[in-house]
Amino acid sequence: MTDPRVLAAEKAAIAPLESAPGPGGLAFAGALGLLFAGALGAWGWQLLNGLEVTGLNSPVFWGVYITDFVFFVGVSHAGTLISAILRITDARWRTPYTRMAEMITIASLPFAATCVIVDLGRPERALNVILYPHLTSPILWDVVCISTYVTCSCLYFYTALIPDLAFCRDRWATRAGWRHWLYMVAALEWTDTPLQRRVHNRIMTGMSIALLGLVISVHTNVGFIFGMTIKPGWHTAIIGPYFVIGAALQGLGGLGLIGVILRRVLRLEPFINEHHLNQLRRFTIALICFWTYFTVAELLTTYYGGIPPEMLVFWSKVTGPFAWSFWGMILGCAVIPFILLVFQPGRLTAMLAWSGALINIGMWLERYTIVVPTAASPFIHTLARSYVPSWVEVMISVGWLAGFALLLASFMRVFPVLTLWELREEVEEEHAAEHGAPES
């Protein structure tokens, strides 16, 4: 007989699949769709008129678009963190978060890739990386890493879905329509035999290890795009690891925010309980401490070095025209989330949601603080220029964020939001422990 917790989880996980969206949901989706359509229109305007409709100039060739690119790659790390790291370590509190995290990864990566295409101005020039490869260029290796990351993340997401697709197949067996055919084909004749379970678990563990190494290489290489130049503020050995820890913190913050929202909207309180929320809180606090350490180490190294071009960028961030983004980064990524999560002046769910939102805002500001001040402060001071994003850049950035949210919501209308097969295994292990499993 199936455990009542599993039955309740199955009911909650497929509730968005079986019910039609309400007026509020339709209005929300419509608003997101309009923003995304506006972003496509702004991109079309840019294609017609060129990059002169943006705030980009010489020497500020990179601005909001590259900031968005690094930001969306950071968002995608949620899936790798929860699904890969915690699956390898067999941390059971991951169970309610894994499917959400994997959906966040898949939904964010298309927008990360297209940010680079938008920044080019002429999208067809992206083919030059393939047609005329330069093996010493970090940009080539970034294309290779991102492409591999997208492919492996999709395979990882699909492999983890197979047992739950079979559950949906059986539930929709007597119904006609596209869902029945989708689940029937995608489930790959899964019958939940002990052999299939063992093979599936081994594949998931192997893919988790491979994906963990891949995700570290991806964001390290994103950092190398900056760090392998000799520009002040970028040319530092710490930039690769700094990007990795920042992406990890951002992905976890995004998962905290989205997890709390879905917990409330989909009524998942029985499955994302205080224990799960507390574990996520502790993990986030640890990553805040790591990120703060890396940030202080980088600032102290620059300050005590005292190299004039480096100090020009340093002071432009700390007290100059980019102080708003620098101190916003410090407050959003470290100070306020740390206070909220350690001292908890309110409900834990509210603290996680506010911290997740602030961390992601702070991480966007961090990427802006890395990209723009260095570009605006070249070695030849007479070439220095200010940079202000145009309405086109703002519209595309907001629209891409809306598109990400719309794609994530669409996934939840097709696939179960909880990883049911992991929950079943967890319940079975608890039953075996309670009734005394025979010793081998």
In a domain, 440, yes or no: no
* Eight-state DSSP code of residue 435: T
Which helix or strand (DSSP H or E) is residue 259 part of? helix 239-265
Give the span between the Cα atoms of 418 and 10, in whole angstroms. Answer: 8
The token pair at 100 is 């959400």
Please answer whether residues 32 and 403 qualify as being in contact, where contact means their C-beta atoms are separated by less than 8 angstroms: yes
Burial of 134 (C-beta count, 10 Å sphere; 0-12/13-18/19+):
exposed
Quote the CA–CA distance of 387 and 60 in Å, as a whole number.
7
- Residue 382: per-residue pLDDT: 59
What does the pLDDT read at residue 440? 39
Collapsing DSSP to helix, strand or coil, 431 comes out as helix
| Angstrom distance (rounded) from CA 163 to CA 178 | 19
Which residue, chain included where needed, has tokens 């294609």? 47
Whether 297 and 269 have beta carbons less than 8 Å apart is answered as no
State the CB neighbour count (10 A cutoff) for residue 254.
Answer: 24
Amino acid making up residue 68: D
Distance separating the N- and C-terminal Cα atoms of the chain: 25
Other C-beta atoms within 10 Å of 407: how many? 17
What is the span of the domain harbouring residue 363?
4-434
Nearest to 388 by CA among 54, 51, 46, 39: 54
Cβ(222)–Cβ(142) below 8 Å? yes
pLDDT values of the chain reduced to their tens digit, one per residue, 440 residues: 567 777 888 888 878 887 778 888 899 999 999 999 999 999 999 999 999 999 998 888 889 999 999 999 888 877 777 778 878 877 778 888 889 989 999 999 999 989 989 998 888 888 888 888 887 777 788 788 888 888 988 999 999 999 999 999 888 877 767 888 899 999 988 998 999 999 999 999 899 888 888 888 888 888 888 888 888 888 888 998 999 999 889 989 999 999 999 999 888 888 888 989 999 999 999 999 999 999 999 999 999 999 988 999 999 999 999 999 999 999 999 999 999 999 998 899 999 999 999 999 999 999 999 999 998 887 666 566 788 999 999 999 999 999 999 999 999 889 999 888 888 887 777 777 766 654 43
**If we measure between CA atoms, which residue out of 387, 385, 238, 230 comes closest to residue 309?**
230
> Looking at residue 215, what is its pLDDT?
85
As a residue count, the chain comes to 440
Please say whether the beta carbons of 182 and 161 come within 8 A: no
Find tokens 């964001």 and name the residue. Answer: 219
In a domain, residue 439? The reply is no
| Count of structural domains within the chain | 1
Look at residue 40 and tell me if it is in a domain.
Answer: yes
Rounded CA-CA distance 224/284 in Å is 25
| Structure-token pair, residue 104 | 């966040």
Return the H-helix or E-strand segment holding 307. none
Inter-residue contact 191 to 165 (CB < 8 Å): no
Task: Judge whether 349 lies within some domain.
Answer: yes
Cα-only R_g, the chain: 23
Q: Say if 55 falls within a structural domain.
A: yes
What CATH number is associated with residue 311?
1.20.1630.10
**Tokens encoding 218:** 């991806």
Q: How big is the CA angle at 339 (ends 337 and 345), to the nearest 5 degrees? A: 110
Report the distance separating Cα 371 and Cα 61, nearest Å. Answer: 10
- What stretch of H or E contains 414? none
105's tokens: 């990864």
